[in-house]
Amino acid sequence: MKPLFPRHILTASALALVVGLGHAGAQQVVDPANDDLPPEVSQQAQDAADANQPLGMEANGAPPSQVMPGSFADLAEQVSPAVVNITTTSVVSQPTGGPSFPEGSPFSDLFREFGFPGMPGGPEGMPQQRRPQRSNALGSGFVISADGFIVTNNHVIDGADQIEVEFYSGQRLPATVVGTDPNTDVALLKVESDEAIPFVRFGDSDSARVGDWVLALGNPLGQGFSASSGIVSARNRELSGTYDDYLQTDAAINRGNSGGPLFNLQGEVIGVNTAILSPNGGSIGIGFSMASNVVSQVVAQLQEFGETRRGWLGVMIQDVTPEMAEAMGLDVTGGAMITDVPEGPARDAGLLTGDVITAFAGTEVADTRALVRRVAEAPAGETAQIVVMREGDELTLDVTLGRRETAQGGGTPETPDDEPSESDVLGMSVTVLTPEMATELGAPRDARGLVITGVDPEGPAAEKGLAAGDIITDVNQQTVATLSDLTDRIDEAREAGRRSVLMLIRRGGEPLFVALPLTDEAPAE
């Protein structure tokens, strides 16, 4: 799904910045425990944890039903002991006074000229120091095992120095990070407890239908444990990620609900509340929960390895349109056409440019998105059968999948000795993104890519709206981490007779595809 208001797709977390180190400024109701659960329900939850049984309506003998309930109270009582509030703390540096503007901004020059306190390069005697401030972030999560594994969003705990989990009973425990996956915005935490902890289980998000009732629990706006109900408004929504598979819901989700569970009427988690679409920062009834079938796969890998290990096929693909199928004489209504086969598992297996993949590992391939998800779910190193259409014939090939994280690289790229520090190409100057640059541009420190340092106002880059500070991460659907990567992708496009290259850039954290026309000049180093 393309967001209607891309600047207003908000992560559903609450963030408050505190002046000084001695006070907690994130809004949070002082409520050490929630006493609205009957003692027998709390005891039932503990008994289920001791028996290593998940909470839920089915676990307590209630018949499953998708009919509108007279009340959600029974469901909320059963699953609440497994839902948690999450508070993270980090220390950041902030200027002691004055507004913050990017270096080179006309406002920065204005305040420097008139001696605004705290501005870099200001007159002598003006305060320049930066002192630490404590930032508190609030989010939600849910327990998935009696031994204390907790699922939340990655953005809730990203960069945190300390993580504290508050249970429905009021108990607070420190948590450690087991692993994270920024691609799906999932994080797995662990707490240690002498007693078994009540937990819930994942349900089958693929079985959720538009119109099914759902219940969202979490910590909206730091108000403490809160429930909201609604329906599944849509399925298979896509925001900006490669592996996106969101359930859309009209259950009220606000900042602070991030990482909280979305339950079906059986008390199974079918989604992790992640984002909202809003023009004003509040709920307008359009919320997004990452589907449980995606999250459970990621969580299983994080539990086992502490990281994700996705399968990698190693092809560039595009959807097959009816017009393309007709032009090629193919009797297919879906599939993914291979547009390039670089060095990798697909080439080793004999796949060729122009092949249309119609099935992967026994599952029909509807489009490129379905193929990407199915390959990512397959374990690295696994041998899978792929069915392709080639010149009207159906072929079955065996391919041994690689690992996507290894193929894309997991560390900061090393610049070869003969690699230039900056290059001018297609009307823009680019250089390798460093951790320091990434921090200044609001990107993760481990982000990889090239950053645009300047744009020729009369060149093709300016014509397409590119600007200094944009980060180029992919060209023609291949990762670029060095200047050589960029020139190689451009050369490949020229050799293939293409008139443009497709660039994926990030501007202020938001992804954007730009088709940049090729010119005849060679890159200047």
* Bind-site residues for substrate: 155, 185, 256-258
Number of Cβ within 10 Å of residue 248's Cβ equals 21
CA 451 vs CA 132, 216, 289, 430, 518: distances in Å: 28, 40, 32, 6, 19
CB 92 within 8 A of CB 133: yes
Pick the catalytic residue: 80, 226, 258, 283? 258
The set of residues, in sequence order, having a beta carbon less than 8 Å from that of 418 and lying 6+ positions away, is none
The three-state secondary structure class of 347 is helix
Q: Is 258 tagged catalytic?
A: yes
Sign (positive or negative) of CA dihedral 185, 183, 251, 178: negative
Q: Which of 193, 192, 260, 181 is nearest to 228 (CA)?
A: 260
Whole-number Å distance between alpha carbons of 328 and 308: 38
The set of residues, in sequence order, having a beta carbon less than 8 Å from that of 423 and lying 6+ positions away, is 429, 430, 431, 483, 486, 487, 523, 524, 525
The three-state secondary structure class of 188 is strand
The set of residues, in sequence order, having a beta carbon less than 8 Å from that of 525 and lying 6+ positions away, is 420, 423, 483
Pick the catalytic residue: 155, 226, 244, 289? 155
The set of residues, in sequence order, having a beta carbon less than 8 Å from that of 436 and lying 6+ positions away, is none
Q: Which of 154, 152, 206, 150 is nearest to 173 (CA)?
A: 150
Phi-psi region of 238 (alpha: psi -120 to 50; beta: other; left: phi over 0): beta
Q: Is 23 tagged catalytic?
A: no
Q: What is the Cα 282 distance to its own chain's centre?
A: 20
Q: What is the Cα 78 distance to its own chain's centre?
A: 30
Could you tell me which residues are annotated as the binding site?
155, 185, 256-258
Whole-number Å distance between alpha carbons of 279 and 4: 10
**Secondary structure element (H or E) that encloses residue 107, with its range:** helix 106-113
Residue identified by tokens 């401030």 is 133
Per-residue burial over 337-347, b if 16 or more Cβ lie within 10 Å, else e, is bbebbeebbbe
Whole-number Å distance between alpha carbons of 152 and 320: 36
Task: Report the length, in residues, of the chain.
Answer: 525
Question: What are 176-180's contacts with CB under 8 Å, separation 24+?
Answer: 178/149, 178/302, 178/303, 178/306, 179/301, 179/302, 179/303, 179/305, 179/306, 179/307, 179/308, 180/154, 180/302
| Residues carrying an active site annotation | 155, 185, 258
